């Protein structure tokens, strides 16, 4: 697993962590992928597409660096005005 002391703000990572309560579907784990905002003694803050999440280190089961996200593709649907 990744050594958290080697992380710097701006590093892109994925974290798998235990949920404090299982979801309605029975899930007990979740993932967060994004950019490191802060590494503290007790938790790690990651900026995801949905905002900043703070995850307790004790709940993290797996962690690794990941490459930059690929560019998002445009919609395959074209409007009638685009068809001219």
Q: Which has the closest alpha carbon to 3: 33, 54, 35, 44?
A: 44
pLDDT higher than 80, residue 43 = yes
Residue 83 inside a domain? The answer is no
User: What's the pLDDT at 74?
Assistant: 80
Q: Would the pTM of this model clear 0.75, i.e. be above it?
A: yes
Largest CA distance in the chain: 59
Number of domains in the chain: 1
User: What's the pLDDT at 25?
Assistant: 84
Residue 37 inside a domain? The answer is yes
- Indicate the SS3 state at residue 4: helix
Domain that holds residue 11: 4-68
Percent over 70 (pLDDT), the chain: 90
Q: Residue 24 is part of a domain; what is its CATH number?
A: 2.30.30.520
Residue 82 inside a domain? The answer is no
Residue 46 inside a domain? The answer is yes
What's the whole-number mean pLDDT along residues 46-69? 95
User: What's the pLDDT at 79?
Assistant: 52
**What is the spatial distance between Cα 47 and Cα 61, in angstroms, rounded to a whole number?**
19
pLDDT higher than 80, residue 10 = yes
């Amino acid at each position: 697993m990744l050594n958290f002391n080697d992380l710097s703000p701006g590093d892109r990572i994925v974290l798998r962590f235990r949920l404090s309560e299982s979801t309605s579907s029975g899930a007990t784990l979740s993932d967060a992928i994004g950019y490191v905002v802060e590494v503290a003694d007790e938790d790690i803050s990651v900026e995801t597409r949905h905002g900043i999440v703070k995850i307790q280190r004790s709940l993290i089961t797996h962690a690794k660096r990941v490459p930059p996200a690929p560019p998002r593709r445009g919609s395959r649907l074209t409007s009638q005005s685009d068809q001219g």
